[in-house]
Chain A
């Protein structure tokens, strides 16, 4: 699986847009990029996934440049409840593959 690198932590204020970038220089052709969110004492939950260009859902946007060596999770107008750890994962969408999480990015949203 491709190794990922994310900032350890980020601070933001309510109402701001937050962008978290993940580097995955050795991403393979078949790899997808998936982001998860984890609150304290809970399991991670899926946020968004993409392969290339831009993906948007009701929660976030995911920007992936043409070389796919990085990706950026964009959270519009964050609130206090967006304070969480965000994980970037890169891997193939086939059954049975082991899913390894990196250290993630701890986002702290202030009032």
Chain B
């Protein structure tokens, strides 16, 4: 069966520090991968999506970047965090036999202080 791993679960970072959040998917190949962000009490904002290795589409101009160095690995990064980067970050995938559904990771609660 397919599983998605996202870490860390919580993260507290000072303003101006770098960020790296990692997401990996197991049990499937060539998934479509997504990064979302959710501010407290708000809806999900699509940040990036990827249809293959090295292929990244950015939805919102921001202080973040994404990379897909391997088929089942998706990384969200920042060189210098801003206060406004705080939020709940979710990785998701779709693909294979169940390509109509999105499956989400457990999320990372990021607080930038």
Q: Is A108 on the interface with B (CB-CB < 8 A)?
A: no
A43 with B34: CB separation less than 8 A: no
Knowing A95-B32, A95-B51, A99-B46, the reply to whether A42 touches B107 (Cβ < 8 A) is yes
B90 with A101: CB separation less than 8 A: no
Contacts of A93 in B (CB 8 A): 99-100
Q: Is A45 on the interface with B (CB-CB < 8 A)?
A: yes
Contacts of A46 in B (CB 8 A): 101-103
Main secondary structure of the interface of A (DSSP, over half): loop
Q: What residue of chain B has the Cβ atom nearest to residue A43's Cβ? A: B104
Q: Is B74 on the interface with A (CB-CB < 8 A)?
A: no
Q: Is B67 on the interface with A (CB-CB < 8 A)?
A: no
A34 with B101: CB separation less than 8 A: yes
Knowing A43-B92, A93-B99, A93-B100, the reply to whether A98 touches B107 (Cβ < 8 A) is no
Contacts of A42 in B (CB 8 A): 104, 106-107
Q: How many whole Å from A104's CB to the nearest CB in chain B? A: 6
B43 with A44: CB separation less than 8 A: no
